[in-house]
């Protein structure tokens, strides 16, 4: 969905400063620790851990940070985290899904609720906006890996469902349960991907003008600033003109 990839591009363009970068590293490390604790500590035998490590590497997380996160799980000194999904509405009725990992549900729920209300949104019940998204696997490649037809053929062979190609690169989508198999098949054909992860892909979108986008970005930035929040997804749609002004 345009909204999803554009949002990633905004974050990229904003050139997330060092503070945000270290926050991102700790969130990726947390996902690695949880994945290793829940399954086998060997990424080759644990698909979730393999994807978590891959995503961390794509964001340039240092190797020693990744290894430390896995060791933490093996050593048994890792905190117990609950995975929680919050759903709500942002400014102009945009649907927002917040994925969190927390060792204190009350603290996280209270923080997320207050962040929504302070930034023109409101937290809803679980399921209140989830129906506007599909759970999918997403594998991204740079444009240089090949033209749209080449990538489309590789995606079909790998068992993917859909491909979106643009001058920014290629996004390949598959069923959430097929992500490990599809990404492995794609790597054999196209080489190492830029990113491989599970996402919430909007099935319906809400169009925003410049003011609406600025308000939404303020809400998303505030949510992502919370250490317990792993990922924020919205279903916004915005014109290229609006995106260029941000």
Strand 162-166 to 206-207 pairing:
unpaired
Q: Is residue 147 part of a domain?
A: yes
- 85 contacts 189 by C-beta, under 8 angstroms: no
Domain with 61 in it: what CATH number?
Answer: 1.10.10.200
Q: What was the pLDDT predicted at 158?
A: 96
Same domain, 51 and 23: yes
Same domain, 187 and 148: yes
Same domain, 107 and 209: yes
Domain with 216 in it: what CATH number?
Answer: 3.30.70.980
Q: Is residue 22 part of a domain?
A: yes
Enclosing domain of residue 193: 132-202
CA distance 99 to 93: 19
Q: Considering the entire predicted model, what is its pTM? A: 0.86
Same domain, 198 and 223: no
Same domain, 101 and 188: no
Convert 130-166 to b/e letters by CB count within 10 Å (16 or more is b): bebbbebbbbbbeeebbeeeebbebbeebebeebbbe
> What separation in angstroms does the CA of 71 have from each of 34, 39, 78?
11, 13, 9
Same domain, 21 and 66: yes
Q: Is residue 106 part of a domain?
A: yes
Same domain, 151 and 41: no
Q: Is residue 44 part of a domain?
A: yes
Overall number of domains in the chain: 3
What's the average model confidence in pLDDT over 49-61?
Answer: 90
Same domain, 190 and 69: no
Q: What was the pLDDT predicted at 2?
A: 45
CA distance 237 to 225: 23
Q: What would the pLDDT profile of 156-188 be if each residue is shown by its tens digit?
A: 999 999 999 988 899 999 999 999 899 999 999
């Amino acid at each position: 969905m345009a909204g999803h990839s554009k949002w990633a591009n905004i974050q990229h363009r904003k050139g997330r400063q060092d503070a945000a970068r270290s926050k991102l590293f700790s969130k990726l490390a947390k996902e690695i620790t949880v994945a290793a604790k829940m399954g086998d500590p060997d990424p080759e035998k644990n698909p979730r851990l393999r994807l978590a490590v891959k995503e961390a590497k794509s964001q340039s997380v240092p190797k020693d940070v990744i290894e430390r996160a896995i060791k933490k799980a093996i050593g048994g000194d890792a905190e117990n985290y609950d995975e929680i999904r919050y759903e709500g509405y942002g400014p102009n009725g945009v649907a927002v899904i917040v994925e969190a990992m927390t060792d204190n549900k009350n603290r996280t729920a209270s923080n997320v609720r207050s962040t929504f209300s302070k930034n023109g949104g409101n937290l809803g019940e679980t399921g209140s906006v989830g129906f506007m998204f599909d759970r999918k696997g997403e594998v991204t490649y740079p444009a240089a890996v090949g033209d749209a037809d080449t990538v489309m053929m590789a995606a079909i062979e790998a068992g993917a469902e859909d491909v979106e190609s643009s001058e920014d690169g290629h996004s390949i989508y598959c069923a959430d349960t097929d992500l490990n198999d599809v990404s492995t098949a794609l790597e054999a054909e196209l080489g190492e991907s830029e990113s491989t992860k599970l996402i919430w892909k909007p099935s319906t979108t809400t169009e925003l003008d410049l003011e609406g986008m600025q308000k939404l970005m303020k809400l998303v930035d505030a949510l992502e600033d919370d250490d317990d929040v792993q990922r924020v997804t919205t279903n916004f749609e915005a014109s290229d003109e609006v995106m260029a002004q941000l």
